[in-house]
Structure 1
Amino acid sequence: MLSVLVGGQILGGIGMGATLSLGSLLAAQLSGSPAWAGTAATMSTLGAALAAIPLARLALARGRRVSLSTGALIAGAGAVIAISSAALAVFPLLLLGLMLLGSGSAVNLQARFAATDLARPGSRARDLSVVVWSTTIGAVLGPNLFSPGETVGAALGLPPMTGAFAFSVAAQLAAAAVYLAGLRPDPLLEALKTGDRPGETAAPQSGLTILRRNARARYAVVVVALSHATMVALMSMTPIHLREHGASLTIVGFTISLHIAGMYALSPVFGWLADKAGRLPVVLLGQAMLLASLLIAGFAADSRTAVTVSLILLGLGWSASVVAGSAMVAESVSGHDRPAIQGMSDLGMNAAGAFGGALAGPVLTAAGYSGLGFLAIVLVAVVIGWTAVRTWGKADQHAAAHQG
C-alpha cells in the first residue's frame, strides 16, 4: 500500500514543484505587477483548503482510492485552465486554474494520512514521513522542468512559461490512474473495519467539534497550519526577489529545488525521531530551523548564497514540524473521527498558507525581502511558546505523579 502512495506522490509532486513557483512569475506577468505574484501561492493553497473537507468526506464515504484520484483529476483540469489563461492573457482565469491545481496539494496532504490508516502506533510517524519523503523526487524535478518545459511548450505551440503546466497535466492523470488501480483494498475502509473501535455506531464528530473538545488535536492543527504559513510566505516571494536581483530562471529553479529537497528529503529522519523521541521535541526542532531561516533572510537578503541556505532551512523546519504535527493529528482521535480532523487540519494548513501568501506580496513591496523574513518570526514565536507550555505541562504532570 505504501508503494502505491509513494508512486502517486512522485507524480503529483512533479505538478506541485513545476507550477507553484512558475505560477508566481506568470501571475506577475499577466497582472502587470509583482505585488500580485503572491496570488499564485494564495490561490493554490486556497484551492487545497477548499478541497480538503470535501475530499475527506469523500474518503470516509467511498475510501481513499476514490478521493485521491478525484483530487488528482481536478488538479489536471486546473493545469489546462492555467495554460488557457496565458494564451488568452486573462489574469482571473489563471487564478481559477491555480485554485483548481491546489486540489493536487490537497491530494498530497491526504495521502500522508492514508499511510497512517493501517500503520502500527509505534511506526505511525515513520510511515507518514515515508509518503511525505516520496514527494521529493517529483517536487525537486518539477522546478527544473522550467527550461525543458519551455522547449516542449514551444513545440506544442503553447504560450511562454506554460510548458511546465503541460507536464503537470500528464503527471496528474498518471497519479489518478495509480490511485485507482493500486489502492485495493482501500486502506481507510479497511481501517474502519478493523481499527480502534470496529463496528462503532456513534455518528462521527465534525472537525470543529473535535477542535473545541480536544486540546491535543487543537494544538497539532495549529502547529501544522502556522508552520505551513511561514513556509509559503517566504518561499512564494523568493523567485520574485531573486529575479529582481538578476537571477536567471535556471538559478531560480535550482534554488526552489533545494528548498523542496529540504521539505521532503529528510522527512523519514524526522518521522523516526518523532517515533523515538516524541512529537513535541521534533516540533521544537522544526521551529528552531524555521527561526534560523527567517533570521538569515532578514539579515542577508542581498546574498544569493544566504537566500539559498535560508530556503533549505525553511524546508527542513517545515518538514520536522509538519511530520510531527501530522502524526499528532492522526493520533488525537480514533475511528470514524479521523477523516474529519485530518480534513480540518488540511483546511487550516492551506487556509493559513493562503493568508501567508496573500500578505507576502504587499509586505515584499512595502518592506522588502528582509522585512518579510522578520515579520514571519511572529508565527514561529506562537508555536514555540505553545509547545514550551505543553512541554513544561507534561514535565509538571510527570513530576507530580512521581511525588504522589
Structure 2
Amino acid sequence: MDQELDPALAHADAVALTPGDAALKVGDERITPAWGAVVAMMLGVTALLTAEFLPSGVLTPMARDLGVSPGLAGQAVTATSLAGLVGALFTPRLTRSFNRKPVLLSFSILLVISNLLVALAPNITFLLAARIVLGLAIGGFWAMAAATTIRLVPPSLVARALSIVMSGIPAAMIIAVPLGSYLGEVASWRIVFLLATALGAAVFVIQALALPRLAPKGEAGLDTLIDILTRPGIGAGIFAATLVFTGHFGYFGYIRPFLESVTGLGAAGVAATLLAFGVTNYIGSFVSGLMAERKLKLTLIAMLLAISVLGLLLSVYGKDLVPALALVALWGFAFSGVPVATTTWITRMVPDETESGTGLTVASIFLGITMGAAGGGLVLDMMGAAAVFVAGAIPLVLAALLIATKVRTRAP
C-alpha cells in the first residue's frame, strides 16, 4: 500500500514504498534512497522528451506527407514549447493540494493521448493541437521533476539522483532523433509516433508501480514566483536560461534539414550522425554532472561558448561529412551539461521553494525553445539551413556573458 512521504511525518520510524523499494526513514534527514522511483522519473523524462524531440528526426517526411514546408512542420516544436511554458508555470499552483504521484501519472496519460493523435493527424492544424497536449504534460512534469527527485534520496545523494533523472534527456535524443529519423524513412513517421505511444504506456505502468505517494510541498502561489524572481541573481539566471535554449533549439530543431541539404546525407547518414550526438550527450551528462558539482558557473559558461563556436564551425565546414560528424558529436557532449547545471543551479538557489523555482526555470526554457524553434524555422525558409547555425550562436554568447557577470551560483 502507498503511504504519504512528507517531512510532517518526521516522528515515524519508516515510510513504506512499493514492494520493491526499501523503507524510507524521514527523521533527521536520514532516508534510504528510493532508486526504483528515481529510475521511474528518468523513464518519464525519456518518454516525454522522446515525443518532444521526434519532429526533429522525422521533419522531412512529416512535412512531405502533410504538404507543408519543413519550416512550418518545425512549428510542432513551437506549439509544444508554448504549451510547456503554460504547464510549467501553472501546474504547481493548480495541483498544490494534490498528492504528487497521481499528478505525475496524469502527465504520462497525456503523453499517450498526444502521441496517438499525432500518429493519426490528417493535417498540420490537427497535429499542432495534439502537440499542445504534449506540451502541457512536459511542462507540468518538468516543473515537478527536480522537486520530486530530491525528496527520494538523502541530501548527500541529490546530485547523483538528478544526474540519473537528467540522463533521460540524452536517452531520448538517441531514441527520438537518430532512430526516429531512420524509421521515419524506412517505415513511416506515423509508425514512429505509434511506437512512442507504446513507450509512454509502458512508462505509465512502471511509474504506477514504482513511485511513492508524495504530499505537496511549498506555497506555489503567484506571489511565490514574484518572490523567487526578485531574489539576488535569480532573474538574470532565468533570462540566461531563455537565451540558452533559444540558441540551442534554433540549432537542434533544424539539424536534419541541415544534414540533408548542406552535408548531403541520406536517411542512414542522418541517423548515424544524430546517433553520435546522442551517444556523446549521454556520456557527457555524467561527466558534466561532476563538473557542475565542483564548478557550476564555469561549467555553464564553457559549455555555452563551446556550443556557439561549434555551431559557427558547422555552418562553415558542415558540407563535408567528417567535420560535420565530429562537430555534431562535440556539440552533443557540450550541451549535456546544460540541463544538469541549470537544474543544479535552481535547486541550490531556491531550496525552500524548489517546485515553484523549477517551474519558473522550465517556463523560461520553454520560452527559449519557442523562440528558437520559431526563429529557426523562419531563418531556414528565408536564408537556408547554414544560416540557422549562425543566428543561433548569438543568444548563446549573450547567455554566457550574462552568467559570467550577473548570475550567482550560491544562495546568499
TM over 0.5: yes
Deviations 1:289-326 (CA, angstroms, capped at 9, x unpaired): 21222221222232233333333333333321221121
Q: Counterparts of 1:191-340 in structure 2 under 5 Å?
A: 192=217, 206=223, 208-245=225-262, 246-275=264-293, 277-335=294-352, 337-340=353-356
Tell me the matched-pair count: 372
Which of 357, 362, 365 in structure 2 is aligned with 1:346? Answer: 362
Tell me the secondary structure at the aligned position of residue 57 of structure 1: helix
Aligned to 1:195: none
**Quick check: 1:384 aligned with 2:412?**
no
**Quick check: 1:128 aligned with 2:146?**
no
* 8 Å Cα contact 1:285-1:320 kept in structure 2: no
> CA separation in 2, counterparts of 1:372 and 1:106?
26
* 8 Å Cα contact 1:282-1:324 kept in structure 2: yes
> CA separation in 1, counterparts of 2:191 and 2:44?
21
> CA separation in 2, counterparts of 1:48 and 1:63?
21
State the AA in 2 paired with 1:127.
A
Deviations 1:78-130 (CA, angstroms, capped at 9, x unpaired): 11221221xx3x11111112232334543663434432335555553332122
Deviations 1:179-221 (CA, angstroms, capped at 9, x unpaired): 23211142x64xx4xxxxxxx8x78564540344113322332
State the AA in 1 paired with 2:245.
H
> CA separation in 2, counterparts of 1:241 and 1:32?
17
The change in CA–CA distance for 1:267 and 1:108 in structure 2 (over 3 A counts) is farther
Which of 196, 209, 212 in structure 2 is aligned with 1:184? Answer: 212
Which of 357, 370, 373 in structure 2 is aligned with 1:357? Answer: 373
**Quick check: 1:140 aligned with 2:174?**
yes
Cα drift, residue 51 of structure 1: 2.0
- With the length of structure 2 as denominator, give the TM-score of the two structures: 0.79
Cα drift, residue 286 of structure 1: 1.5
Which of 133, 154, 163 in structure 1 is aligned with 2:191? Answer: 163
> CA separation in 2, counterparts of 1:241 and 1:122?
43
* 8 Å Cα contact 2:71-2:381 kept in structure 1: yes
The change in CA–CA distance for 1:257 and 1:52 in structure 2 (over 3 A counts) is farther
Tell me the secondary structure at the aligned position of residue 120 of structure 2: helix
**Quick check: 1:99 aligned with 2:114?**
no
> CA separation in 1, counterparts of 2:229 and 2:220?
17
Aligned to 2:18: none
> CA separation in 2, counterparts of 1:203 and 1:54?
9
State the AA in 2 paired with 1:254.
A
* 8 Å Cα contact 2:49-2:172 kept in structure 1: yes
Aligned to 1:79: 115
Tell me the secondary structure at the aligned position of residue 61 of structure 1: coil
Deviations 1:14-55 (CA, angstroms, capped at 9, x unpaired): 434545422464135424323313312212222322322233
Cα drift, residue 382 of structure 1: 1.4
The change in CA–CA distance for 1:16 and 1:32 in structure 2 (over 3 A counts) is closer
Deviations 1:317-358 (CA, angstroms, capped at 9, x unpaired): 3321221121111122233x3222211111110111011100
> CA separation in 1, counterparts of 2:319 and 2:272?
18
- With the length of structure 1 as denominator, give the TM-score of the two structures: 0.81
The change in CA–CA distance for 1:146 and 1:388 in structure 2 (over 3 A counts) is closer
Deviations 1:120-146 (CA, angstroms, capped at 9, x unpaired): 555533321221113433431333145
> CA separation in 2, counterparts of 1:107 and 1:263?
24
The change in CA–CA distance for 1:258 and 1:44 in structure 2 (over 3 A counts) is farther
- Structure 2 runs not aligned, ≥5 long: 1-36
> CA separation in 1, counterparts of 2:151 and 2:243?
25
The change in CA–CA distance for 1:228 and 1:125 in structure 2 (over 3 A counts) is farther
Tell me the secondary structure at the aligned position of residue 60 of structure 1: coil
> CA separation in 1, counterparts of 2:153 and 2:222?
22
The change in CA–CA distance for 1:149 and 1:383 in structure 2 (over 3 A counts) is closer
The change in CA–CA distance for 1:296 and 1:98 in structure 2 (over 3 A counts) is same
State the AA in 2 paired with 1:60.
R
Q: What is the RMSD computed on CA atoms of the aligned residues?
A: 3.0
